[in-house]
Structure 1
Amino acid sequence: MSRAGKKNESPHLALVAGAFAGAVEGAATYPFEYLKTQTQFAHRTDGKPPGLWAITKQTYARQGILGFYSGVGALVTGNALKAGVRFVSYDRFKQMLVDQDGRLSGPRSLLAGLGAGMMEAVFAVTPSETIKTKLIDDQKREVPRYRGLVHGTVSIIKEEGFRGIYRGLGPVAARQGANSAVRFTTYGTLKSFVSGNSRPGETLPAGVTFAIGAIAGSFLRSVIKTRMQSLEARSQYRNSFHCAARIFSEEGIFRFWRGATPRLARLVLSGGIVFTVYEKVIVLIGGRAV
């Protein structure tokens, strides 16, 4: 497994590099996130729900290219915050869990990744994704209520309180914890394997880093999270378990895989982008790579 540095490094470096990487990744892959979310909302239409291509055409016809970026501010802001929290948390947990030789075993890497994922779910992912989801959902109205990120956020908090932006925390925390555990461990293992013949201190080419990050990108289904964060969640679902039960009984087991294509495309790209940008920025500002 990867070797962790023994020196105590300022957490600000990992925070800055992670935030920058998250912002770049969020902006670059947002259209996939938009289409995934709209696909998961498609159950509300009469008859057979429209597919991915139909939603793409409808969005472009109504709003043009900019329609695919509805709610992008919330995601970019949230992505910057969550990636910063994720990398700085992983770095802290990693320093706590390394052995006397400075090595991080596979199981301890999983534990560090799990802790990092849980931290980002609480401090960044849940509130930012709730706001993003509500902004996207609002675009389905003939006359949208929210005028933008700031107005939408203020309106949501005013109407539902801070509890309103933490709906779906349970499934989000489970997803982020599992994803980060697998992603960091896979990335670290593949990086150690690929760089085995490299000279000490030699950095991997950006293309290789991107490929490793893309392979490390994994996903768990997020339909329950999306529904719980929608505008109608309060009137339809008592909690995440009630939401899952209703989806299963009313729409079938395959509904949990609705939106898998755009989500998989986004996560493959996001894994490559975020690790590549992080590695480049952290080296540039004098920090330590993952």
Structure 2
Amino acid sequence: MVADANSRTSPLISLLAGGTAGGIEAFCTYPFEFAKTRVQLYGHEGVKNPFRVVGNVIQREGLPALYKGCSTMIVGSIGKDAVRFVAFDSIRKMFEDPVTHTLGPAQSIASGMVAGVVSSTVIVTPTERIKTALIDDAKTSRRFRSPWHCLATLTKEQGALRALYAGYVTTTLKQIGTTGFRLGSYSILKDWERRSAWFADKEKGVPRIDIDGPVVSFANGALAGTITTLATQPFDTVKTKVQQARAVGGTLDAARAIVAEDGVFRGFWRGTVMRLGRTVMAGGILFTANEQATKVWRMVLGQ
């Protein structure tokens, strides 16, 4: 999140607002996440339209199947976005200009990357592992009764470390790229808008646009989400392959399997349409919800 120049955001507000935004975003966009994961795991009969994938799942497996693993995703998103927003805000405060409260592009992206490592280690890899295993299991053996049962079963079969941290390397690389590009590009856009005459110069007769308002926040977040998806899709595809319920080996084994199945470009960018549909919406929803949640939590806590 990028705080305005007149009101600095405390770590507590960043934590609460980020968690609130993460939960809202995860619930609203989960069908796209489900469709993307299914395509990355199985190709889903060559269907590339996310709405058709969702429709086929509802028709064949019922509506509840579409939200398999959603509770894990929501919990993970609350924790992930709480951690990465507070980490990003804390890191950027160390490097920002004390007068304008802005960062250079390289500093914005670097701050996001560091926040990505923190969030991947603390919350993202474990919750992504369980979510992916649940989605895979819903298509195959259907033996997991709940996220906790899934965790207990995988721990017994594969050991605690692999049960929670399978795919850590690719997940962390994805989070470095995702958080770096998403928060970094969003921060760059907000800083540019703060300096831009189009948004701020009243003397030239240009109407002021509220850069913290929902419309601008959604547009900035959607653009940041698009950039993020295209740049980090290969990491996401390999991560999904490694984290399926049935063990497939390590990161290199998963990458080789993907290339053998579909080739380099088609394989590594498998599920891009589904993920793009989700991340464009997710980016808009996440940053809009975060901006509005920040205002609400400030009022609630009197800050």
TM-score (norm 2): 0.83
Question: Are 2:10 and 1:14 aligned?
Answer: no
Q: State the distance in 2 between where 1:22 and 1:32 align.
A: 15
Counterpart of 2:112?
113
Q: Is the 8 A contact 2:3 2:9 kept in 1?
A: no
Counterpart of 1:61?
59
Q: Which amino acid aligns with 1:262?
A: M
- Cα displacement (A) at 1:274: 0.5
SS of equivalent to 2:298: coil
SS of equivalent to 1:231: coil
User: Where do 1:185-196 residues align within 5 Å?
Assistant: 185-195=184-194, 196=196
Q: State the distance in 2 between where 1:202 and 1:267 align.
A: 23
Q: Which runs of 5+ in 1 are unaligned?
A: none
Counterpart of 1:204?
212
SS of equivalent to 1:145: coil
Q: State the distance in 2 between where 1:52 and 1:203 align.
A: 35
In the alignment of these two chains, the number of paired residues is: 278
Question: Are 2:176 and 1:177 aligned?
Answer: yes
> Identity of counterpart residues, as a percentage?
32
Q: State the distance in 1 between where 2:7 and 2:53 align.
A: 51
- Show CA shifts across 1:189-230 (max 9, x none): 222333443489965331221111101112112111001001
Question: Are 2:280 and 1:282 aligned?
Answer: no
Q: State the distance in 2 between where 1:22 and 1:119 align.
A: 16
Q: Which runs of 5+ in 2 are unaligned?
A: 203-207
Q: State the distance in 1 between where 2:5 and 2:159 align.
A: 43
- Cα displacement (A) at 1:248: 1.5
Q: Is the 8 A contact 2:103 2:191 kept in 1?
A: no
Question: Are 2:71 and 1:73 aligned?
Answer: yes
- Cα displacement (A) at 1:72: 0.5
Counterpart of 1:168?
167
- Cα displacement (A) at 1:251: 3.2
Match of 2:263 among 239, 244, 252: 252
- Cα displacement (A) at 1:89: 0.4
Counterpart of 1:51?
47
Q: State the distance in 2 between where 1:77 and 1:161 align.
A: 23
Which stretch shows the higher mean deviation, 244-253 or 213-222? 244-253
SS of equivalent to 2:103: coil
Counterpart of 1:91?
89
Q: State the distance in 2 between where 1:98 and 1:73 align.
A: 36
- Cα displacement (A) at 1:3: 7.5
TM-score (norm 1): 0.87
Which stretch shows the higher mean deviation, 121-130 or 240-249? 240-249
Which stretch shows the higher mean deviation, 277-286 or 193-202? 193-202
Q: State the distance in 1 between where 2:19 and 2:256 align.
A: 36
Q: Is the 8 A contact 1:42 1:50 kept in 2?
A: no
SS of equivalent to 1:269: helix
Which stretch shows the higher mean deviation, 201-210 or 260-269? 201-210
Residues 8, 275 of structure 1: alpha-carbon distance in 2 compared, 3 angstrom cutoff = closer
Residues 100, 24 of structure 1: alpha-carbon distance in 2 compared, 3 angstrom cutoff = closer
Counterpart of 2:24?
24
Residues 201, 268 of structure 1: alpha-carbon distance in 2 compared, 3 angstrom cutoff = closer
Counterpart of 1:150?
148
SS of equivalent to 1:286: helix
Q: Is the 8 A contact 1:127 1:165 kept in 2?
A: yes
Q: Which amino acid aligns with 2:164?
A: I
Which stretch shows the higher mean deviation, 28-37 or 50-59? 50-59
- Cα displacement (A) at 1:132: 0.2
Q: Which amino acid aligns with 1:40?
A: Q
Q: Which amino acid aligns with 2:36?
A: K
RMSD: 2.5
Q: State the distance in 2 between where 1:201 and 1:92 align.
A: 27
Q: Is the 8 A contact 1:3 1:104 kept in 2?
A: no
